[in-house]
Structure 1
């Protein structure tokens, strides 16, 4: 394997609390009823304006709704500095797994996320990942998942072939994107969507422990991860 691409929310980062609370507050400000946790997590991974459009049951993106969400999310992220319930921690074992993968000669790592470029930069800086990922694809770089554009751009930037590339994610959008790009789709069990549904869409493996990923890629197992 030459390139492993990761989704962020629900795959590397547990952002459930801040995402759902931002959605609920945004909907309340627009007089809308939030459809609940399952629906709220089910659109995570899409580009923001499309995600909110689907969540609200609209026929087209609503820029006012999108802008309100940006304002609410920004305020909650600032609030998270003093409110641990809004924290966005890494899932257990992720830090060790990424560190081990980064030590593998010739292996390149990437990100493909529905977050904006600014949102990705915040996460990268927060966790000190500036030198970890060789390619980063955001909502500002390519069409929304499940369009394969993010993966195609990542492969073009790194010179990786589809048969030597894997996409690791927790949503239907990640798996469908991987299938469309012709790369290996790998699902995680700890994310925002049921693993069984991801297998039905084409996921070849379901990770239940970060320590399993290096083995799937033919690399040494991560020592000491949770």
Structure 2
């Protein structure tokens, strides 16, 4: 039986973290007296590792101030978590849990995560929704270069022993699509996240799903050709 691997991005794919991210970003920029980036700009960098994301949002700021913005963002993000508002601010997308449960029932399918979140942030999200039981490999920003570098994909393939031709990544940003392509695996986009469908396709998405209900048929169609 040939092992298959499905890697999931997190923010914009499994959970809608936009409100929580925007709140933390607003706090960080306000605290540094830097103009707060627009919601559209923030949406555009979701998926990147935090230092890369903030550097793009504040390109004219010194390295020292970017570093302070990163730390203020982390503090604000954790404060939201401690206040108990994180789950409400970052809900699971409709159908996400059903899709994970369906895939977990397939004996030769392994699940993994490739995210710009920190290990601590991912662990908290897993605890909030009891998701750790689904994933055999978790690649986070602490351990890798920022997307779209393929390091996360290559590490997940190495950990699971799955061939690149039998693996896919599901994500909502062009960074996910580019990372998948650079890692030699198939990239599937989702329409409910933060980048436009046309951007996902331009970045190498094999297809863009409109709902989680379309995931299993898309995977079955892909694997029937491999």
Give the TM-score normalised by structure 2: 0.92
In the other structure, the counterpart of 1:20 is 22
- The reply on whether 1:63 has 2:70 as its aligned counterpart is no
Report the secondary structure of 1:5's partner residue.
strand
In the other structure, the counterpart of 1:6 is 8
Distance 1:196 1:164 in 2: 25
Report the secondary structure of 1:136's partner residue.
strand
Q: Give deviations 1:39-79, integer Å, cap 9, x for gaps.
A: 00111111111111111124775221111111111112223
| Aligned positions of 1:107-146 closer than 5 A | 107-146=109-148
Q: Give deviations 1:110-140, integer Å, cap 9, x for gaps.
A: 0000011111111111111222101000011
Q: Give deviations 1:140-168, integer Å, cap 9, x for gaps.
A: 12111000000000000000111100000
Report the secondary structure of 2:188's partner residue.
strand
In the other structure, the counterpart of 1:217 is 219
Distance 2:62 2:93 in 1: 34
* One of 124, 127, 151 as aligned partner of 2:153: 151
Distance 1:69 1:148 in 2: 26
Name the one with the larger helix percent: 2
Q: Give deviations 1:176-197, integer Å, cap 9, x for gaps.
A: 1001011011000000111111
Aligned residues: CA RMSD:
1.6
In the other structure, the counterpart of 1:90 is 92
Distance 2:118 2:219 in 1: 29
In the other structure, the counterpart of 1:75 is 79
8 Å CA contact retained: 2:166, 2:185: yes
Distance 1:64 1:35 in 2: 16
8 Å CA contact retained: 1:24, 1:34: yes
